[in-house]
């Protein structure tokens, strides 16, 4: 039987009905025998998951494994073609009964659903405002209810603050409080740590544990397997649209978990790469006395073929420096030279023209135009290669895009597919394709593997190494240790300044201590 024939044949559902477990408790949520097709694509094939009361249950798998489709079914946004979903032993509500779904389950997505132009209180009770005499909204009552809700769930946010002023961590806590206000005690967290630093992650995990004690159950979706071991009780693995494994986290080793996700033993990356630095070539990047919003007096060089890491916690200045290099921010003082050219400060077109390729921190907000095709997204930065006098050639665009699709093994039926139809890992490959489209002498990457699966992460980092091997200088601004392991050296920023330079061969403890401002010799 071929792989395609296996994918088209639903796996049998478990023999038990899943209503009451052996310990006498009913699952908070259970999905059994779930099949979901989108045209010829089988997104879920007999998938199942059981989430017990009070636990934090991890759902892991490579991009495209079916996690997002299952979440859409568990939250009532999609109906399964086959299979059943129950909450506390009762059938799921009708798809149209959104209030009933909100009372049972809520999802805090990686892409926030908070409306930035409204206040916190307005977001918490959107379309649920109290009305006073004459049918007018009682804003005093709305603010009072918001304050009571935030206090009840220990969320330290001003209910009158504009939601757009909140940081990522605060938005997540507000979304959790909003979910709890509907009565839901089962919350799905979709990549909640992708944009948080270590301190914020610790605070989030502390809140999860507190809420567990108050009877809240979590489904935790993450590509960071270390977090699964830190916060989760159970883990379910999906692969190729189906269920592979459910087990207590403590009973699954890290190699076994990766093997379950990938279908093969975990690839072992070499601890050190052979340096490809060309000291005789013009430096890819040279910063002199650079100061700006969040950093001061930053000075370093990235040689041709060299990979340099810029590490630090959120607020250290690492992201701000990288964004200043590519023109997203204007420096207050100092000089930037890209491949010997001095671009106009604060100008992205000037930085690109000087020779910078760029992968931004957030592909959803900064990296992609979701309704445009893969071809258009991959070639947005190189109109000069697609035609003359403002006229673009579709055939040139498609040839260039098809070459990048092949080079980066982007899984798509063709370049015309909207980029929004791709999995997260393939979307990140499209962002990388655009960064590499003009063969830049400098490649600037900010958290390049955030929110992608293990194999996509390995693949992308492998392509970064190949790019450096061809003579491109690479700057990686990240606090993700796996992003930094390939670097020839890592510059550590703390409170807006470069405080340490660590060469290859560092251990995790040494680098994390430097990022947190801890002196191990003190």
Average the pLDDT over 259-280 and give the result: 69
- In the chain, list all ranges with CATH 3.40.50.300: 3-109+220-262, 268-355+440-522
The mean pLDDT of 247-258, rounded to a whole number, is 89
Give residue 15's pLDDT.
36
The pLDDT value given to residue 135? 60
Q: Which of 42-51, 78-87, 188-197, 247-256 has the lowest mean pLDDT?
A: 188-197
User: Is the distance from CB of 495 to CB of 464 less than 8 angstroms?
Assistant: no
Q: Is the predicted pLDDT of residue 424 greater than 90, yes or no?
A: no
Q: Mean per-residue pLDDT for 274-279?
A: 84
DSSP 418: B
pLDDT of amino acid 395:
77
pLDDT at 235: 96
Most confident region among 83-97, 132-146, 360-374 by mean pLDDT? 83-97
Has residue 522 got a pLDDT over 60? no
- Token pair, residue 386, equals 């697609």
Of the two residues 439 and 12, the one the predictor is more confident about is 439
- pTM of the full structure: 0.58
Give mean pLDDT, residues 91-99.
91
Query: Which of the residue ranges 80-94, 233-247, 307-321, 383-397 would you say has the lowest mean pLDDT?
Result: 383-397
Across 321-342, average pLDDT: 96
pLDDT band at 130 (very low <50, low <70, confident <90, very high): low
Residue 272 confidence (pLDDT) above 80:
no
Q: What is the pLDDT of residue 38?
A: 84
| Pick from 240, 212, 253, 189: nearest CA to 59 | 189
Beta-carbon contacts of 329 under 8 Å, excluding residues fewer than 6 positions away, are: 292, 293, 320, 323, 346
Per-residue pLDDT band for 131 (boundaries 50, 70, 90) equals low
Residues 15-30 have pLDDT tens digits of 334 444 445 578 999 9
pLDDT reported for residue 125: 84
Whether residue 415 is predicted with pLDDT greater than 90 in this model: the reply is no
Distant-in-sequence, close-in-space partners of 503: CB < 8 Å, separation ≥ 6: 488, 489
**Better pLDDT: 281 or 510:** 281
User: Bigger pLDDT: 255 or 223?
Assistant: 255
Q: How confident is the model at residue 331 (pLDDT cuts 50, 70, 90)?
A: very high
Long-range CB contacts (within 8 A, 24+) of 163-166: 163/114, 163/115, 163/116, 163/117, 163/118, 163/119, 163/120, 163/122, 163/123, 164/116, 164/117, 166/114, 166/120
8-22, 129-143, 195-209, 484-498: segment of lowest average pLDDT: 8-22
pLDDT of residue 114: 85
d(CA 405, CA 374): 9
- pLDDT for 74 equals 95
Q: Where are the alpha helices (DSSP H) in 443-498?
A: 454-469, 481-484
Question: Taking 60 as the threshold, does the pLDDT of residue 59 lie above it?
Answer: yes
Question: Could you tell me what percent of the chain has a pLDDT over 70?
Answer: 90
Higher pLDDT, 396 or 304: 304
Query: What does the alpha-carbon distance between residue 397 and residue 395 come to, in Å, rounded to a whole number?
Result: 5
If you write DSSP's letter for every residue of 172-216 in order, what string do you get? HHHHHHHHHHTT--EEEEESTTTT--HHHHHHHHHHHHHHHHTT-
Compute the distance between CA of residue 377 and CA of residue 420 in angstroms, rounded to an integer. 11
pLDDT for 265: 53
pLDDT at 519: 63
CATH fold of 268-355+440-522: Rossmann fold (3.40.50)
Label residue 267 by pLDDT band (50, 70, 90).
very low
CATH match of 3-109+220-262 with 3.30.470.30: no
Which region holds residue 340: left if phi is over 0, alpha if psi is between -120 and 50, else beta?
left
Q: Taking CA 318 as the corner, what is the angle to CA 170 and CA 285, rounded to the nearest 5 degrees?
A: 150
Does residue 300 contact residue 308 with C-beta atoms inside 8 Å? yes
Cα(491)–Cα(498) distance, rounded to whole angstroms? 6
Cα torsion 152, 156, 161, 163 to 10°: value is -90
Q: Please provide the average confidence, as pLDDT, over all residues in the chain.
A: 85
- What pLDDT was estimated at residue 1? 37
Per-residue CA distances from 452 to 4, 57, 222, 357, 362 (Å): 25, 19, 9, 20, 12
Mean pLDDT over 224-245 rounds to 90
């Amino acid at each position: 039987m071929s792989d395609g024939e296996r994918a088209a044949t639903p796996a049998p559902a478990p023999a038990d009905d899943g209503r009451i477990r052996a310990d006498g408790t009913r699952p908070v949520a259970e999905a059994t025998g779930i099949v979901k097709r989108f045209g010829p694509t089988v997104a879920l094939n007999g998938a199942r998951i059981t989430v017990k009361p009070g636990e934090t249950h991890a759902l892991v798998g490579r991009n495209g494994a079916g996690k997002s489709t299952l979440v859409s079914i568990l939250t009532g946004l999609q109906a399964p073609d086959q299979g059943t979903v129950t909450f506390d032993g009762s059938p799921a509500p009708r798809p149209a009964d959104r209030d009933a779904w909100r009372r049972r389950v809520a999802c805090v997505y990686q892409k926030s659903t908070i409306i930035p132009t409204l206040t916190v209180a307005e977001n918490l009770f959107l379309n649920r405002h109290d009305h006073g005499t004459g049918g007018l909204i009682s804003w005093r009552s709305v603010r009072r209810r918001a304050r009571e809700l935030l206090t009840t769930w220990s969320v330290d946010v001003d209910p009158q603050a504009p939601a757009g002023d909140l940081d990522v961590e605060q938005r997540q806590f507000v979304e959790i409080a909003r979910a709890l206000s509907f009565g839901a005690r089962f919350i799905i967290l979709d990549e909640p740590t992708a944009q948080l630093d270590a301190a914020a992650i610790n605070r989030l995990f502390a809140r999860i544990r507190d809420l567990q004690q108050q009877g809240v159950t979590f489904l935790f979706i993450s590509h960071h397997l270390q977090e699964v071991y830190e916060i989760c009780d159970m883990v379910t693995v999906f692969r190729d649209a189906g269920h592979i494994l459910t087990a207590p986290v403590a009973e699954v080793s890290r190699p076994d978990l990766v093997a379950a996700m990938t279908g093969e033993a975990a690839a072992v990356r070499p601890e050190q790469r052979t340096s490809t630095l060309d000291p005789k070539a013009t430096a890819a990047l040279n910063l002199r006395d650079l100061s700006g919003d969040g950093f001061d007096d930053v000075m370093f060089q990235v040689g041709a073929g060299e990979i340099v890491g810029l590490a630090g916690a959120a607020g250290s200045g690492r992201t701000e420096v990288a964004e200043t290099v590519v023109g997203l921010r204007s420096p207050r003082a100092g000089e930037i030279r890209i491949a010997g050219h001095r671009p106009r400060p604060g100008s992205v077109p000037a930085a690109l023209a000087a020779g910078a390729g760029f992968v931004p921190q957030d592909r959803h907000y900064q990296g992609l135009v979701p309704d445009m095709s893969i071809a258009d997204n991959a070639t947005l930065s190189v109109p000069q290669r697609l035609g003359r006098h403002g006229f673009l050639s579709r055939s040139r665009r498609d040839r260039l895009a098809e070459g990048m699709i092949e080079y980066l093994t982007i899984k798509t039926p063709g370049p015309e597919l909207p980029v929004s139809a791709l999995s997260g890992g393939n979307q990140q490959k499209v962002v990388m394709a655009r960064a590499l489209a003009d063969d830049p002498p400098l490649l600037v990457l900010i958290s390049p593997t955030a929110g992608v699966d293990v194999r996509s992460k390995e693949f992308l980092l492998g392509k970064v190494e190949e790019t450096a091997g061809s003579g491109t200088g690479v700057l990686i601004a990240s606090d993700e240790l796996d992003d930094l392991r390939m670097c020839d050296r890592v510059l550590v920023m703390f409170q807006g300044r470069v405080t340490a330079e660590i060469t290859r061969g560092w251990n995790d403890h040494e680098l994390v201590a430097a990022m947190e401002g801890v002196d191990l010799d003190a």
